[in-house]
A = this chain, B = another copy of it.
């Protein structure tokens, strides 16, 4: 006869594995939603995807710490509207989830198409090394760290050299200095990996 305690143990394991599968879908949705909000300058909606203590660090501009500061940072970016393209496609997840702990790490990339009618058109591409936390039952961004691989003028392409990083947001100093020092293309940069093995 099968031991009920053994069955129960297997069911408990299955419940943990079911949770991990749901966590995966939630995290892919979360990062995708971030991209759709950023595309359209929906800054408050994007900020809501961060944990209460979540941090944002992009393009060597330093760390903005806490959801309120993330919102402030985002609101300093140009508004979406007529003549604006601000596409940030969220691509290629490599996700490692500790479901029991309610934490996760993810490598992603974004392909960027940025433009202002009659004034500027740029391609860009960045690697994210992000962290996530389950907070009040929902996955939230604990750390968004975007390392820019390149920006270039549409009219020039990447092979004539890139656009140097803009290392600060006018009128909004970060809470902490950048966590890594680098320059984008034509310099080489390899965003640190959160994993050794897959």
Q: Which residues of A contact B (CB under 8 A)?
A: 1-2, 4-5, 7-8, 10-11, 14-15, 17-18, 20-22, 24-26, 28-30, 32-33, 35-36, 39-40, 42, 49, 80-85, 87, 89-96, 107, 109, 111, 113, 115-121, 125, 127, 138, 149-150, 154-155, 157-161, 185-188, 190, 193, 195, 197-198
16 additional A-B pairs beyond A36-B94, A89-B109, beta carbons within 8 Å, are A10-B15, A26-B198, A29-B93, A29-B198, A32-B92, A32-B107, A33-B94, A80-B188, A81-B188, A82-B186, A83-B185, A117-B159, A119-B159, A121-B157, A121-B160, A154-B157
Interface centre among A29, A30, A149, A197 (most CB of B within 10 A): A29
Give Cα A154–Cα B155 distance, bound, in whole angstroms: 10
Give the residues in chain B near A96, CB-CB below 8 Å: 29
Q: How far does the alpha carbon of A138 sit from the alpha carbon of B196 in the complex, in Å?
A: 14
Contacts of A119 in B (CB 8 A): 159
| Other-chain residue from B87, B185, B186 in contact with A125 (beta carbon distance below 8 A) | B87
A29 to chain B, nearest CB (A): 5
CB distance from A14 to the nearest CB of B (A): 5
CB distance from A130 to the nearest CB of B (A): 14
Cβ-defined contact, A36 with B186, below 8 A: no
**What 4 A-B pairs have minimum CB-CB distances, sorted nearest first?**
A121-B159, A154-B157, A17-B18, A32-B94
Q: Does B107 lie within 8 Å of A158, measured CB to CB? A: no
Q: What residue in chain B is nearest A31 (Cβ atoms)?
A: B92
Q: Are B4 and A2 in contact (CB under 8 A)?
A: yes
Q: Which residues of B contact A26 (CB under 8 A)?
A: 198
